[in-house]
């Protein structure tokens, strides 16, 4: 099957490309490399074109979407804090870029478009678990941009012969997630700091909780969403584990895996962050047959060695309390 993955050199995108190529699909990738890396795809053999370009450029997108049966639209400028600093740029990429991809997919006769949304659209709702019938309450420009993309996807499915499925990802982590960005997610930040002898930094008191989702689960959701029956078209659904842990519990798990005993340092809560996040995954189970196959603990156990392999001179001794032993 011919597919296009926008954002395919990024963290989730490169993992998806690897899985699709391994299954025999011919994959084209579009990425402007603002948050992705060509090196993320270095070990992929048999892939189709990799085009470095802008998802907002109609001519580039039209050329790549031609002949595709499925489009996985993962391209976006992520990060709540980035969107607070530059809402216009984030809106342009995340909203205008999404509309551009939808129009190109419609005109090219694409069968289905799978859109990567975010749990951030729920905001700081006190009700848990968060389910798709809840009223969205985005607390950041990033969250608002992902919700706008959802609405465009659903409207296109309603008025054009283009099927769309929107997946609300919850705190995805795993190999190929960049720990060096100033917008790095919490798990790569924690792992790399702890592996280099520095304590993890927690913004808030550490009791905030997240439904951390190993990237393999997210990839499974994408592929199922692309192949599910017509009952899934026009729908929005959570892609997560359906379980949550606090940041303090996360640090304890990482200490166990690293045979260490780091104590976090604390900073003030960050603007736009939510207190607690937990997904109901019932709709995804029902509509696309989704069932997470990796727990948080299993995902962390698969992720820590990946980072360790990229810092081979660093190891943490059992019982370490913030020091580095080489």
pLDDT of residue 246: 97
Give first-to-last CA distance, the chain, whole Å.
48
Q: Nearest to residue 145, comparing CAs of 32, 56, 36?
A: 56
Q: Is 229 among the domain residues?
A: yes
What is the residue range of 55's domain?
Answer: 2-172+215-239
The pair of structure tokens assigned to 160 is 């054009």
pLDDT of residue 323: 31
Q: Is 40 among the domain residues?
A: yes
Beta bridge partners of 166: 115, 236
Q: How far, CA to CA in Å, does 306 sit from each of 5, 25, 172, 300?
A: 24, 26, 16, 10
Beta bridge partners of 163: 112
Q: Nearest to residue 294, comparing CAs of 225, 226, 171, 212?
A: 212
Provide the number of structural domains found in the chain: 1
Q: Does residue 290 have an active-site annotation?
A: no
Q: Is 108 among the domain residues?
A: yes
pLDDT of residue 317: 38
Helix 215-227 vs helix 11-22: angle between axes, to the nearest 10 degrees?
Answer: 60
Q: Which candidate in 72, 142, 152, 290 is catalytic? A: 142
Q: Is 52 among the domain residues?
A: yes
pLDDT of residue 271: 83
- For the chain, give the secondary structure using H, E and C: CEEEEECCCCHHHHHHHHHHHHCCCEEEEEECCCCCCHHHHCCCCCCCCEEECCCCCHHHHHHHHCCCCEEEECCCCCCHHHHHHCHHHHHHHHHHHHHHHHHHHHHHCCCEEEEEEEHHHHCCCCCCCECCCCCCCCCCHHHHHHHHHHHHHHHHHHHCCCEEEEEEECCEECCCCCCCCCCCCHHHHHHHHHHCCCCCEEECCCCCEECCEEHHHHHHHHHHHHHCCHHHCCEEEEECCCCCEEHHHHHHHHHHHHCECCCCEEECCCCCCCCECCECCHHHHHHHCCCCCCCHHHHHHHHHHHHHHCCCCCECCCCECCCCEC
- Residues 60 and 43: beta-carbon distance below 8 Å: no
Q: Is 270 among the domain residues?
A: no
Q: Is 262 among the domain residues?
A: no
Q: Is 104 among the domain residues?
A: yes
Distance (Å, whole) CA 138 – CA 130:
13
pLDDT of residue 313: 41
pLDDT per position in the chain (326 positions), as tens? 999 999 999 999 999 999 999 999 999 999 999 999 999 999 898 788 899 999 999 999 999 999 999 999 999 998 888 999 999 999 999 999 999 999 999 999 999 999 999 999 999 888 999 999 999 999 999 999 999 999 999 999 999 999 999 999 999 999 999 988 776 789 999 999 999 999 999 999 999 999 999 999 999 999 999 999 999 999 999 999 999 999 999 999 999 999 999 999 999 998 878 889 999 999 999 999 999 999 999 999 999 999 999 864 444 433 333 332 22
The CATH number covering residue 18 comes to 3.40.50.720
Q: Is 98 among the domain residues?
A: yes
CA angle centred on 238, ends 4 and 130, rounded to 5°:
155
The pair of structure tokens assigned to 89 is 């740029």
Distance (Å, whole) CA 302 – CA 293:
13
pLDDT of residue 81: 87
């Amino acid at each position: 099957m011919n597919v296009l993955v926008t954002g395919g050199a990024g963290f989730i995108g490169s993992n998806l490309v690897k899985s699709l190529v391994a299954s025999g699909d011919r994959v084209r990738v579009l990425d402007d490399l603002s948050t992705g890396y060509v090196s993320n795809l270095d070990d992929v053999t048999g892939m189709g074109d990799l085009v470095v370009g802008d998802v907002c450029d109609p001519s580039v997108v039209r050329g790549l979407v031609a002949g595709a049966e499925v489009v996985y639209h993962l391209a976006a400028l992520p990060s709540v804090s980035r969107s607070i600093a530059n809402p216009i740029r984030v809106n342009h990429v995340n909203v205008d870029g999404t509309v551009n991809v939808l129009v190109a997919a419609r005109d090219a006769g694409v069968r289905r478009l799978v859109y990567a949304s975010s749990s951030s659209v729920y905001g700081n709702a006190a009700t848990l678990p968060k389910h798709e019938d809840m009223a969205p309450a985005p607390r950041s420009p990033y969250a608002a941009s992902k919700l706008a993309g959802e609405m465009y996807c659903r409207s296109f499915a309603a008025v054009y012969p283009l099927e769309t499925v929107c997946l609300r990802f919850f705190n995805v982590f795993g190999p190929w997630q960049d720990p060096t960005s100033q917008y790095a997610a919490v798990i790569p930040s924690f792992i790399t700091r702890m592996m280099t002898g520095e304590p993890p930094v927690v913004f808030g008191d550490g009791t905030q909780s997240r439904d951390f989702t190993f990237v393999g689960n997210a990839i499974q959701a994408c592929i199922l969403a692309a192949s599910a029956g017509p009952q899934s078209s026009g729908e929005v659904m959570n892609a997560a584990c359906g379980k949550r842990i606090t940041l303090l519990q996360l640090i304890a798990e990482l200490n166990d895996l690293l045979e260490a005993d780091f104590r976090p340092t604390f900073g003030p809560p960050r603007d736009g962050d939510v207190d607690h996040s937990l997904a109901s995954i019932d709709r995804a189970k029902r509509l696309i047959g989704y069932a997470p196959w990796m727990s948080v603990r299993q995902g962390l156990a698969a992720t820590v060695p990946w980072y360790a392999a990229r810092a081979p001179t660093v190891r943490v001794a059992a019982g370490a309390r913030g020091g580095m032993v080489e």
